[in-house]
A = this chain, B = another copy of it.
Amino acid sequence: MEFIKILKFDEKGLIPAVIQDYRDGQVLMVAWMNGESIRKSLKTGRTCFWSRSRKEFWIKGERSGNIQLIKEILFDCDADTLLIKVKQVGGACHTGYRSCFHIKVNKNGNSKITGKRVFDPKKIYSQKELK
């Protein structure tokens, strides 16, 4: 059976996708897909998500050039989460970091940014988008 028919989408028709670098295993981001964005991703070989805030398709890297070339797609035992291994061009995070997961929790319960920026987000996004 086609795998999209096995997947369990939530009440909004969405499923979370963990995006992982296929070479070093770094978790780059988590975003949401619907059936149509999965089909677009399969067709193009690049990740396409559904933006819950903007309520529109979001082709990753369309503006920044930081596309994600799909190398492997897996899903979990409950069929309610995707794991997509990609070749990441540039950085995955709109704030300029390679991974969106660049904020680390300290032992005292506070947090701090870890890692270095790999691109300057101000050259791509407006101030409003970076808030």
Interface residues of A (CB under 8 A from B): 1-4, 6, 16, 18, 20, 24-27, 29-30, 42, 72-79, 81, 83, 93-95, 97, 100-105, 109-111, 114
Contact present for A93 and B77 (CB under 8 Å): yes
Partner of A110, one of B2, B105, B111: B2
Copies of this chain per assembly? 2
What separation, in Å, do the CA atoms of A20 and B20 have in the docked complex?
Answer: 11
Known A-B contacts A103-B75, A103-B76; the reply to A83 vs B27 at CB < 8 A is: yes
For residue A119, give the distance in angstroms from its CB to the closest CB of chain B.
Answer: 14
Counting chain B CB atoms within 10 Å of each CB, the highest count among A3, A26, A105, A114 belongs to: A105
